[in-house]
């Protein structure tokens, strides 16, 4: 578990290291007031009305822009936030380990499958949906029971490659099994990397079953597949020449092209739609749930979207918005020429632990 980054008063359920009093932290966030829309939105009448005492909002997140977003939210609404930033796998492990005594209030990671897996265990608040204008991507990603809130979309299984060494990259998934690419392909460990399980599940979906997907990855391993924990090490292996092809999240792949001009990104048919989402702890105190709903609504506001698109400009900010009237950053290609698939999170979410265990035992080892 990583060390929490306090953005307000200490949480009421677990001790944390404090680097500064809450007042100092809120003041430090004032520089983000412009991003968060300036003055608080509450009217004078609302400000004068009695309001329940705030409690710390404990945010578990694997998003590159989470620190900027939580600081902007805390500055605007004067709600203290405790941010635990980590990879998706460890965060889900923490949630599983604390099911009987939860230590989180809000989870923000990539992959609807993770939230579906929590929802079927009755660990998420249901029936909440911010009042926003969803675009087509957003409408596809909103669950029927309102158990999580989509915040953006990337693509799982984008192919980044070194164009200086690979003038003719593979054009189909099956070509990756060719001797031409022996030892030249890398990807991430789905038990560590949140975007990677939806990629693995997406291949199983595309190939019409778990067994068929296991055969594909077994053949890929026999052809020298290199597995690293997350996007960063896999892309570092690509830039250093250890591998020539990396199968990673689209935002990470596109961001890597900014610093390494030899890298290009291509999408094989199909790539899997990967929503980022927010889920709220069903066992959290009511006031924390209210604050979590306020946070989700803020993320999808114009001010919150501005922070999302500026908080990690070479990484997670490279997402496709799920709202009408919000354009993606210019570095993102149009999705009109990309063959994509949606996978059913309620089919594949409950299989995550089983599939990840198989992958670690048979592909990572």
Q: Where are the beta strands (DSSP E) in the chain?
A: 5-6, 57-61, 81-85, 106-110, 149-156, 158-162, 185-188, 226-228, 245-248, 263-266, 271-280, 340-341
**Distance of alpha carbon 343 from its chain centroid, rounded?**
16
229-243 mean pLDDT: 97
| pLDDT-based confidence at residue 350 (cuts at 50, 70, 90) | very high
Q: Where are the beta strands (DSSP E) in 164-321?
A: 185-188, 226-228, 245-248, 263-266, 271-280
What ranges do the domains of the chain cover?
5-153+276-310, 155-273+335-364
Question: CA–CA separation, 178 vs 186, rounded Å?
Answer: 14
Instruction: Check if 5-153+276-310 and 155-273+335-364 are the same fold.
Output: yes
- CB-CB contact of 8 with 26 (8 Å): yes
Q: Is pLDDT above 70 for 35?
A: no
- CB-CB contact of 192 with 233 (8 Å): no
Please check whether the domain covering 5-153+276-310 is classified as CATH 3.40.50.300: no
pLDDT attached to residue 46: 46
| pLDDT-based confidence at residue 352 (cuts at 50, 70, 90) | very high
What mean pLDDT, rounded, does the chain reach?
89
Q: Is pLDDT above 70 for 91?
A: yes
pLDDT attached to residue 52: 80
263-271 mean pLDDT: 97
The token pair at 164 is: 């200086």
pLDDT attached to residue 50: 62
pLDDT attached to residue 51: 67
224-231 mean pLDDT: 97
Percentage of the residues of the chain whose pLDDT score is greater than 90: 85
CA atoms lying within 13 Å on the CB side of residue 197: 31
According to DSSP, the β-strands at 271-280 and 149-156 are: antiparallel
- Dihedral angle, C-alpha 237, 242, 247, 251, nearest 10 °: 30
| pLDDT-based confidence at residue 13 (cuts at 50, 70, 90) | very low
Question: pLDDT tens digit string along 247-262?
Answer: 999 999 999 999 999 9
Q: Is pLDDT above 50 for 39?
A: no
Q: Is pLDDT above 50 for 38?
A: no
Residue 193 DSSP symbol: -
**What pairs with residue 134 in β-bridges?**
323
**201 Cβ partners below 8 Å, 6+ apart?**
113, 213, 272, 343, 348, 351, 352, 355
pLDDT attached to residue 28: 38
Instruction: Find, among 250, 256, 162, 142, the residue nearest to 202 by Cα.
Output: 250
147-174 mean pLDDT: 97
Domain 155-273+335-364 - what CATH class?
alpha beta
265-274 mean pLDDT: 98
| pLDDT-based confidence at residue 49 (cuts at 50, 70, 90) | low
């Amino acid at each position: 578990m990583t060390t929490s980054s306090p953005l307000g008063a200490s949480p009421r359920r677990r001790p944390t290291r404090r680097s500064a009093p809450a007042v100092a932290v809120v003041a430090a966030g004032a520089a983000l007031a412009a991003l968060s829309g300036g003055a608080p939105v509450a009217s004078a009448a609302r400000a004068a009305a009695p309001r329940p005492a705030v409690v710390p909002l404990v945010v578990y997140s694997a998003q590159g822009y989470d620190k900027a977003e939580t600081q902007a939210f805390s500055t605007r609404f004067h709600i203290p936030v405790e941010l635990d930033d980590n990879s998706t796998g460890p965060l889900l492990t923490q949630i599983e380990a604390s099911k009987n005594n939860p230590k989180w209030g809000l989870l923000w990671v990539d992959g609807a499958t993770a939230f579906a897996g929590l929802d079927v265990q009755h660990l998420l608040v249901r029936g909440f949906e911010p009042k926003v204008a969803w675009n087509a991507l957003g409408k596809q990603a909103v669950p029927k029971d309102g158990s999580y809130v989509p915040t953006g979309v990337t693509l799982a299984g984008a192919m980044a490659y070194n164009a200086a060494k690979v003038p003719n990259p593979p054009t189909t998934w099956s070509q990756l099994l060719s001797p031409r690419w022996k030892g030249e392909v890398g990807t991430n460990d789905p038990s560590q990397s949140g975007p990677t399980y939806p990629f693995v599940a997406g291949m199983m979906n595309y190939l019409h079953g778990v067994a068929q997907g296991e055969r594909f990855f077994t053949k890929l391993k026999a052809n020298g597949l290199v597995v690293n924990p997350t996007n960063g090490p896999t892309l570092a292996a690509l830039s250093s020449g250890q591998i020539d092809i990396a199968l990673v999240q689209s935002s990470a792949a596109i961001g890597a092209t900014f610093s390494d001009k030899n890298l290009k990104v291509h999408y094989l048919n199909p790539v899997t739609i990967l929503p980022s989402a927010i889920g709220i702890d069903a066992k959290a105190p009511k006031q924390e749930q209210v604050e979590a709903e306020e946070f989700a609504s803020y993320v999808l506001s114009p001010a919150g979207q501005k922070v999302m698109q500026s908080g990690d400009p070479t990484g997670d900010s490279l997402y496709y918005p799920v709202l009408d009237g919000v354009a993606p950053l210019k570095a993102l290609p149009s999705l009109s020429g990309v063959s994509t698939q949606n996978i059913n999170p309620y089919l594949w979410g409950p299989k995550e632990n089983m599939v990840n265990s198989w992958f670690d035992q048979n592909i990572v080892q």
